[in-house]
Every structure is written in C-alpha cells, then in structure tokens.
Structure 1
Amino acid sequence: MHVLAKNANALLMFLLELGVLASVAYWGFTLGSNWGVKLLAGIAGPALFIAAWALFGAGGGANAAFPLTGLARAALEIIWFGGGALALYAAGLRTQAFVFLALFIVNAVLRLLWNEV
C-alpha cells in the first residue's frame, strides 16, 4: 500500500509539472487582444519554464544540467509550481489556481515525509 501511495504521489508530481506548462501557455494565450503578443507569450512562457526545469530540476535533479538540492531545490519548486498557480490566477481561473496550489502542497509534504526530496 505504501509503495502504491508513493507511486501515486510521483504521478501527481509529473501531472503537476505538465500542469505548470499548460497553465503558463493558457495564461500567455489570454494576454491582450494582439495575436502576436498572445502567440509569443503562449509559446515563450512555457519554453522558459521548460528551460529552467531542464537546467535545474528535471528528474528530481538527477536529469538536470545543474541539479539543485536542499533549500535551493525547495525554492525552485516553489517558484516553478507557484508560477503555474499564479498563471492560472492571472488568467482569471482563481479556483483552479487554488486547487493547483493545494495539490502541490500536498505533494510536497508527502515527498518530505517520505524523504523523497
């Protein structure tokens, strides 16, 4: 049962990672009325998030070019997942932003309790 819960939490983290990218893209495509701005923000926003995650956080740091640990890793995750929640909030999806943030907090607390950070 414990292994199943850990695997479910790992799946949740992966889905949250994808959710960040979707959230930032959605936010970008809701900016203003100019399609050039929408297209730039909707594509460049997630691209910047992908670059940051690939450099510092991919695979729990194992696949990252410059893996972060400890407080630096915690700060990265707070900025990364908080950015996803903030993008939803800025796009007007306030309830979804709070649910996203709550899911991240539950995921992070469980990973801390299970020493998976």
Structure 2
Amino acid sequence: MKPVLLALAFLLELALLVAVGWWGFTLQAGLPVRLLAGLGAPLLIAVGWGLFCSPRASVPLPAPAKLTAQAACFVTGGLLLALAGKPVPGALLVALWALDKALLTHSGDPV
C-alpha cells in the first residue's frame, strides 16, 4: 500500500505544478504576464518544494514545519486553481493531498 501512496503523492505534486501553471496561463493579462506567471509560479513552487518539502530537502525542517510548508503549497495551488475558474478540481487537489498525507503518516512514513 505504501508504494501506491508514495506514487500518488508524486502525482499530486506534479498536479500542483500544473494547477499553478494553469492559473498563470489563464490570467486576464497580456501574453508576457501570462508567460511569466504560467512558467514562473510553478518554478517558484518547485524551488520551494525542493528546498523545504521534498524527502531530500536542501533545508531540512522539523516534521511540523515541513507539513506546514507542504500544506501551504497545496492550499495555494488549490486556491489558484479556484481563481482560474476550477474550484472543484482545486478543492480535490487539496483534499486528495490531505488524505494521502494522512494515510502515509498512519502507515509510518510521513513523507
């Protein structure tokens, strides 16, 4: 069961990046702004995730701080997806992450 949950966690992380990019590309702005937001926002999330949230984070955080940083990333992604006109997928992204995280934590592997 743990490998399935870890695979789901990875897919959700990719979905987070897609959600943030979707928001950027759907902004009601000129092409340069949409490109900057659509490419820059996911890059910002990916860098933050790599620094603080990944299993091999460059800046290791205590478990509660790491969980808070991960939750902040996913809640931001869900909110941005809702702002892009997709509130149900945004809520599902956050809910699936929370469920997967809870199941992983319960299985003894708080990734």
**Normalization by structure 2: what TM-score?**
0.93
Instruction: State the aligned residue count.
Output: 110
CA RMSD of aligned residues (A): 1.1
Counting only pairs closer than 5 Å after superposition, residues 86-97 of structure 1 correspond to structure 2 as 86-97=79-90
Identity %: 34
Of 21-30 and 104-113, the range deviating more from structure 2: 104-113
Q: Which residue of 1 is the match for residue 16 of structure 2? A: 20
Would you say 1:83 and 2:76 are equivalent positions?
A: yes
1:73 maps to what in 2? 66
Q: Is the 8 A contact 2:16 2:93 kept in 1?
A: no
Structure 1 equivalent of residue 97 of structure 2: 104
1:46: Cα distance to partner?
A: 0.6
Partner of 1:52: 48
For 1:4-43, list aligned pairs within 5 A: 5-43=1-39
Deviations 1:7-29 (A, max 9, x none): 11101100010011100000000
Runs (4 or more) in structure 1 with deviation over 6 Å come to: none
Q: Which has the higher mean CA deviation after the structures are superposed, 9-18 or 27-36?
A: 27-36
Q: Distance in 1 between matches of 2:28 and 2:18?
A: 18
